[in-house]
Amino acid sequence: MTLPAALRVANRDFVMYTRIWRENVIGAFVQPVLYLLGVGLGIGSLVDDGGTATTVLGDTSYFAFYASALLATTAMFNAGQEALWPTADGFQWSNAYRAVMATPITTRDLAGGFAVRFAGRTLITGVGVASILALFDDTRTWGLLPAIGVAVLCGLAFAMPIATWTASRVGDASFPAIMRFVLMPMFLFGGAFYPIDQLPTAGQAIAWITPLWHAIELCRGLILGGLDASAWGHLAVLIAYSTGGYVACARVLEWRLRQ
């Protein structure tokens, strides 16, 4: 009881997580490793052998270009999924969050517990991905350490707004659509596979307002070098999404659980 209320909420989720952590961690690592080998090394070798790679990417190999974005994309997918079905369980199936409301815990505490949980899950996978990137010369830099922090912030920038949506739903019918039509397009067009200046002007504008591109730019700059003053703008966008998502989540939780 001496812990802050939000940490007590997160501790409850941590106890539940100890039952499934092996499957969760393994699954979280397998997908990025496959992408790293298939896209970074496989397709990357073809891109590097092409005549336009140097013009588009400068002195950066395609493997390094893609691998440096992997921390952000993995954070987006893992935190986004965590904010959907696992979070919906407390509202729709186990009703755990209604039970929490019978205690002195407030909806702000519950939203804070969500944030701690999402950050913790993203931190675990971020450390794992960074450990894999450290095995390769192109991405073995001290910038991996602060990039893990950026990945955690990226996870929050997605998870808190998505958790707000989850809290407002009475079913999970819309969840697959979020994965297919929100997260997947960001993954494909958010700058992980190619610079967004290769997109049409409208596509670039959409990428600018999404948190993933900003997280990728920060991770890439930290790992490969080349950060400039625009890094503060990228950081501000991620903080805005995370903070705004927390505020919105607390308000929707109040509406949902106090009915």
**C-alpha to C-alpha distances, 136 to 18, 44, 154, 211, nearest whole angstrom:** 31, 14, 23, 27
Q: How far apart are CA 147 and CA 241, in angstroms?
A: 18
Residue type (1 letter), 104: P
Residue % of the chain over a pLDDT of 70: 92
Residue 2 has φ and ψ, to the nearest 5°, of -80, -15
How would residue 55 be classed by pLDDT, with cut points 50, 70 and 90? Answer: low
Region 133-158: mean pLDDT is 95
Give Cβ neighbours of residue 198 (< 8 Å, ≥ 6 apart): 56
Region 236-252: mean pLDDT is 97
Higher pLDDT, 160 or 6: 160
Domain residue ranges in the chain: 5-257
Give residue-wise pLDDT tens across range 25-52.
776 677 778 878 887 777 767 676 665 5
Give Cβ neighbours of residue 176 (< 8 Å, ≥ 6 apart): none
Which residue bears the tokens 């920038």? 157
